[in-house]
Amino acid sequence: MQLSYFHTSEAVPPVVSVAEGGPDAAVVIDVLRATTTIAWSLHNGAEAVEAFATLDELEAAAAAWPAERRLRAGERGGQRVEGYDLGNSPLAVTPEVVGAKRIFMSTTNGTRSLAAVRSVPLLLTACLPNRSAVARRLLDQDCKRVWIVGSGWEGDYSLEDSLAAGAVASAAMEMAVAPHIGVRFGNDEMLAALALWQQWHLDTETCLRAASHGQRLIGLGNHDADFACCAAVDSLQIVPFQAEPGVLKAS
C-alpha cells in the first residue's frame, strides 16, 4: 500500500481514475475539529453527516430534509455560525442531540478537503481517536494507493493534521505484518508526517495545543475538553465512509 500525504485541499492533485494512476482510497483529516466531530456524531447515532464546502449549499440541502430529522452544523473561524444548531465541537454531538438525525455540516477547512477527493472510490475520514480503525479498514480493503488529505487552515499547513496523518501511517505499518503486505510512502510529506507522529505520539494534546490552530482555539475561549477529546488516540472504532457523494455514514 502506497501512502501519500497532502497537507491541504489546495495541494491535492487533480483526481484521475484508478486506471490512470489515481488513488483507490482517500482519507480526509481535520483533527481540530471536523473529522473528530464527524466520528463522534456517527458513534453517537447520527443517521449521516452531509458535508458542504459552502453555507449556501448546506442551506439548500437542509431545506429539503424534514425539520425534525435534521441539524445544521456550521463553523467559521473556529466559532459556531449564528443561528445554527451546532458548531464544530465533538462534545456537542451527544446521543440525545444527534440520534437518528442527519447533520448538514460546513466548516472552515475540513469540508473543503472532503470535496477535493469526493470522486475517489473509497473515501474515509480519520482523526486521532479512530486512526487505528481507519488503518485497519484500508488494509482490509487491500487498498493500493491512498491519498491522505489534511485540511490545514485557509490553505496553510496544519501541524495537528500532519500528526494524525503520521498516526494513521504508523498504525498501518504496525498492522501490515503479512509477507505480501507492505506500506511505502509516495511523497516526502508522508515521511515527515510519520516523523512528527514519532516525536509527539506520547503527548498528542500538547502538540494540538502548540499548533497555530490550537492557539487560535485557546484564544477563543475554554476548549480544554475539546482538546482532550481530539487528542484521545484510539478511543473510537467507528470509521466514517462516503456512502454517496458528500454523505458520510458509520461503518
Q: Residues 80-100: pLDDT tens digits?
A: 999 999 999 999 999 999 999
The total of structural domains in the chain comes to 1
Q: Residue 179: its pLDDT value, please?
A: 56
A 10 A CB-CB count for 50 gives 24
Q: pLDDT tens digits, residue range 54-78?
A: 999 999 999 999 999 999 999 998 9
Full domain range(s) for residue 64: 2-249
Query: If you average pLDDT over every residue of the chain, what do you get?
Result: 96
The helix/strand/coil state of 95 is helix
Q: Residue 108: its pLDDT value, please?
A: 85
Q: pLDDT tens digits, residue range 148-200?
A: 999 998 889 999 999 999 999 999 999 997 656 789 999 999 999 999 999 99
Helices (H), the chain: 34-43, 55-63, 95-98, 110-116, 131-140, 159-175, 188-200, 204-210, 212-220, 224-231
Examine the pLDDT at 203 and tell me if it is beyond 90.
Answer: yes
Q: pLDDT tens digits, residue range 207-242?
A: 999 999 999 999 999 999 999 999 999 999 999 999
Total residues found in the chain within this entry: 251
List C-alpha distances in Å: 101 to 81, 136, 149, 165, 181.
19, 28, 27, 29, 39
CATH assignment of the domain containing 212: 3.90.1560.10
